[in-house]
Amino acid sequence: MIKRLALIMGFLMVATTALAQTYTAQGMSDGYLNLRAGPGTSHGIITRLYPGNEVERLGKRGNWLKVRLSNGEIGWA
């Protein structure tokens, strides 16, 4: 019973760390943040994020975050 409980607790700990992180856009000096096709300013702009927009973090490369918008669109910010 104790081994089973320990196994379940271990699974729950792994599952919670794997949950997606949600971020809210805020504090942009020019009022928006460009969402780009790749991690760098040389990549095309997909759309703009405005204060209050929420995104789901999918990954990171350097200072860039790969995110998914609520409409399913994926880009880099």
Model confidence at 19, in pLDDT bands (50, 70, 90)?
Answer: low
5 has pLDDT over 80: no
* Secondary structure E strands in 1-77: 21-24, 33-36, 45-49, 54-61, 64-69, 74-76
Residue spans of the domains in the chain: they are 21-76
If you average pLDDT over residues 7-23, what whole number do you get?
50
pLDDT at 26: 78
Superfamily the domain 21-76 falls into: SH3 Domains (2.30.30.40)
pTM: 0.69
